[in-house]
Structure 1
Amino acid sequence: MISIQAIDDRSAAVASLDPIKSRLLEELAEPGSASSLAAKVRLPRQKINYHLRALEAVGLVSLVEERRRGNMTERLVQATAASYVISPSVLDPVAPDPARFSDRFSAFWLLALASRMVGELGQLIAGAAKADRQLPTFGIDGDLSFRSAADRTAFVEELGTAVARLVDTYSSPADTPGGRRHRLIVALHPTPKESTSHPTSKEKHSEH
């Protein structure tokens, strides 16, 4: 099982969005059978088995083991990943295209870049898993506050200058022997305000 799988097949995306199948994927972080899952989600074993077969057909569940139990063969299956994200390629040809936006201050361009990154990383992770290799990636995630819009503008200018200098220093021609192109994305956006109008599932349980 990998940590995150990018779903790039439309049938798999539809299956993952089904409430029952989504619940089964959650429960299948560890191997399980139709019988064991039926007790957890309170549905008939036959119905669970139908959903498991559908998930297996689109590659979201894989067979772990088959074992005999009396006159029956019990199939143990497991989700192919701990978490899933739907790749924008599923929506092709209406997936966001960064080429349609060229304004580095555009939120739409930033979203298109993020969508492209999800799709590309999904492909790379799948390829690396098959080859049993690690990907040379790096990321920074942090929160910061600005006293004013002027400070934010100054920060963006300094950040852009610093990144441009690093790119000039280390970037080599695309045809350099042994070299490989890498994608660099630097993003800055406001942090969404937390909503207090809708309690989380944990909060709902704590109220009872």
Structure 2
Amino acid sequence: MLDVAVIEEPAAAEASLDPIRSRILAALAEPGSAAMLAARLELPRQKVNYHLKELERHGLVELESERRKGNVTERVFRATAASYVISPIALGAVSPDPARSPDQLSARWLLALGARLVQEVGALLTGAARAQRRVASFGIDAEIRFASAADRAAFADELAATVAALVGRYHDESAAGGRRHRVVVGLHQIPDPKPETETEAGQEN
């Protein structure tokens, strides 16, 4: 089982987003048959069987084993990954493209950069899984609290200058056998937690 699988086909993405199928995928972190899943999820076995076939057809679950139980052959499945990410490539022509309107101060551009990151790293992961190799990567995740908007702007300017200096120092367009890499640095405010709905609040009182 993979840690993360990237879904690139629109039909597979649609299949994974079905609420019942997503529950089945989560339950199949531990292998199980249709009968076992029906008991775990409190669903009719016939319905589970139908959804399992669809998930298997799109490569989201795989057959782990078959075993005989009397006159019946029980098929045991498992999810192909512990978690899934839908690549923006599944959206085709309407997927975000950072080349359309590059703007360092635009949140929409930052979102498009993130979408491209998911698409490109997803493609690398898919190819590496087929070749049974690992993907060379590096990431930084940090939080910072600014005292003012002016401090935030100064930080962004200094960060941009530092990254530009590093790129200029190490970039070698003529290096024989060199491999191109992409550097993406983003800065955004952390969203506040979603407030409880009136219904949820009422249920707790």
The TM tier, using the shorter chain, reads over 0.9
TM-score w.r.t. structure 2 length?
Answer: 0.94
RMSD (CA atoms): 1.9
Where do 5+ consecutive residues of structure 2 fail to align? Answer: none
In 2, Cα distance between the equivalents of 1:150 and 1:43? 56
In 1, Cα distance between the equivalents of 2:93 and 2:195? 37
Total equivalences in the alignment: 204
The aligned counterpart of 1:147 is 147
Post-superposition shift, 1:204?
A: 11
Post-superposition shift, 1:133?
A: 1.0
Q: Which string of whole-angstrom CA distances, capped at 9 and with x for unpartnered residues, describes residues 96-133 of structure 1?
A: 11111111111111100100111111111011111111
In 1, Cα distance between the equivalents of 2:14 and 2:202? 28
Where do 5+ consecutive residues of structure 1 fail to align? Answer: none
Q: 1:27 to 1:159 in 2, by over 3 A?
A: same
Residue type at the aligned position of 1:144: I
The aligned counterpart of 1:114 is 114
The aligned counterpart of 2:185 is 186
The aligned counterpart of 1:13 is 13
Contact 1:12 1:58 in 2 (8 A): yes
In 2, Cα distance between the equivalents of 1:102 and 1:46? 50
Residue type at the aligned position of 1:131: A
In 1, Cα distance between the equivalents of 2:47 and 2:202? 28
Residue type at the aligned position of 2:186: A
Contact 1:88 1:118 in 2 (8 A): yes
Q: 1:185 to 1:28 in 2, by over 3 A?
A: same
The aligned counterpart of 1:156 is 156
Contact 1:101 1:108 in 2 (8 A): no
**Counterpart mapping for 1:119-134 below 5 A:** 119-134=119-134
Residue type at the aligned position of 1:129: A
The aligned counterpart of 2:89 is 89
In 1, Cα distance between the equivalents of 2:170 and 2:64? 45
In 2, Cα distance between the equivalents of 1:142 and 1:22? 31
Residue type at the aligned position of 2:156: V
The aligned counterpart of 1:23 is 23
Q: 1:31 to 1:129 in 2, by over 3 A?
A: same
In 2, Cα distance between the equivalents of 1:179 and 1:70? 61
In 1, Cα distance between the equivalents of 2:67 and 2:121? 36
Q: Secondary structure at the match of 2:53?
A: helix
Residue type at the aligned position of 2:12: A
